[in-house]
Amino acid sequence: MGRDRDRSRRGLFLRSRFEAVHPEITKFQAEIAEKGLTEINGYRLDDGTRAVLRSWPLYKPVIAAVNGFCTAGGMEMLGGCDLRVACPEAKFAVMEPKRGLFAGGGTTVRLPRQIPWPQAMEFLLCADLIPAERALEMGLLNAIVPREQLLDAAREYARRIIVNAPLAVQATKQSALQGLYFDEDLTQQLRAAIRELRRAVADGADPDAAAEILERLGRELRSPFEKESKISGVIFRTEDAKEGPQAFAEKRPPVWKAR
């Protein structure tokens, strides 16, 4: 049953990304908007955006190896990857506007934050296929390698990452993502506080209880630099933070324990 459900979810995602050919999702849009639906036939409508790592707190590094056309869902998935290598034959595009559609998996938000604005607008507004060499120039890729070396190149990036302390790597990505998408994190915290206030009011809470909720929100809200400092404090208290300098002083490879 779980496997069948996963296949159904993947199918729903693929249909949503190719609506020009399979209009099942577009025909439900009016009903979705009017009724505020979050599911259809038991399947969540945000499965597709979760699949492309939008608003998903994944702090493990993700490396993309692109060996063909990277469009539609593939391009949206690329926005959730940290390092990206491609073969010379690869091509990239946000082609939804050419079909009267919209890249709603995060690309219109992520791309302008990941590469320079004019380059991002060329991708988003012209909706043309971009060759790998041009994508590299625009800052979308880390490297271009021959097709037969593609996976080896991706694995080499992975090897370079995993020699580092795992908790430090994850914390570094966490800080970078939370700084880049600070508005998303802030919005989620504010919505959670609003829900809590509504429940408190419905339960007849006194003003002091509501004030405590707001005061707690004020303590929890942090700027990107404040979040960086908090994450930094956690990492500097780990055993790995002691092992790294000690190994350097003793001129030996560190032995990471991820704690």
Query: What are the residue numbers of the active site?
Result: 76, 96
Are the CB atoms for 103 and 79 separated by under 8 Å?
A: no
CA distance 195 to 192: 5
Residue 143: φ, ψ to 5°: -160, 155
A 10 A CB-CB count for 212 gives: 12
Angle CA(231)–CA(235)–CA(237) in degrees, nearest 5?
120
Q: What is the DSSP letter of 127?
A: -
Closest CA to 155 of 166, 167, 143, 165: 143
Burial class of residue 224 in the structure, from the number of CB atoms within 10 Å of its CB (0-12 exposed, 13-18 middle, 19+ buried): middle
- Estimate to the nearest angstrom the gap between the alpha carbon of 138 and the chain centroid: 20
Q: What is the DSSP letter of 86?
A: E
Express the helix, strand and coil content of the chain in percent, nearest 5 each.
Answer: 60, 10, 30
Closest CA to 25 of 55, 46, 52, 56: 46
What 3-state DSSP class applies to 235? helix
What are the beta bridge partners of residue 130? Answer: 92
Are the CB atoms for 160 and 142 separated by under 8 Å?
A: no
